Amino acid sequence: MYLYLMRHARALALEDSNVQYDAERPLSGAGERDILALSEFMKKMEYFPHGIFTGPFNRSRMSGEMIADQLGGIPVHMDTSLLPGAGLSDVLNCLSGLDPDKQQAAMVILHEPDISYILGQLFHGEDGQYPYPIYSGDFFALRLDINNHKAVARTLSAFSPVITRCGDHV
């Protein structure tokens, strides 16, 4: 089974967004450009998930919908378990509808520090964090093996639009 993990793309600051609540913040122009760059990377690598799972925060939902549109209409599922504070079990629940024998893939869009803790568990089997910073829009393609309710991952590739687009900090 394949798991594509992503930290949502860059959002407008609350004071610049004309919204009242953090959960309502939309993507910034830079965040939208990051999604386009990531989508091109995913096409080149032939990473086409069978479904995209997002939490209800606007920046996560917008990230998932833009990627789905760029990749040709992949279904997007909003799941309240993917709110900030989501854990590995929440991610694995999103994958429960996939058939591991068919080598299917799912994309899950998360917040930080949740994605750091989830990657730490997948690679180290413990509650430590992933040892490197994870920027908005960062993407990880993983090969996931699940045995006896334990998941272990191997990295296939990673992509960081913030690093790739160095200097675009708006």
Q: Between these two residues, 145 and 27, which has the higher pLDDT value?
A: 27
What is the predicted pLDDT for the residue at 170?
A: 40
Q: 64 pLDDT exceeds 50?
A: yes
pTM over 0.85: yes
Helix-helix angle 29-45:58-70, to 10 degrees: 40
What is the predicted pLDDT for the residue at 128?
A: 73
With tokens 């830079």, the residue in question is: 30
Mean pLDDT confidence for 109-124:
93
Quickly state the pLDDT bin for 169 (edges 50, 70, 90): very low
Beta partners for residue 117, in sequence order: none
**Can you tell me the distance from the alpha carbon of 75 to that of 72, in angstroms, rounded to the nearest whole number?**
9
Q: 43 pLDDT exceeds 90?
A: yes
8 A C-beta contact, residue 2 and residue 144? yes
Residue type, 19: V
Query: What number does CATH give the domain 2-164?
Result: 3.40.50.1240
Beta partners for residue 3, in sequence order: 106, 142
Give the least confident one: 41-50, 56-65, 68-77, 159-168.
159-168
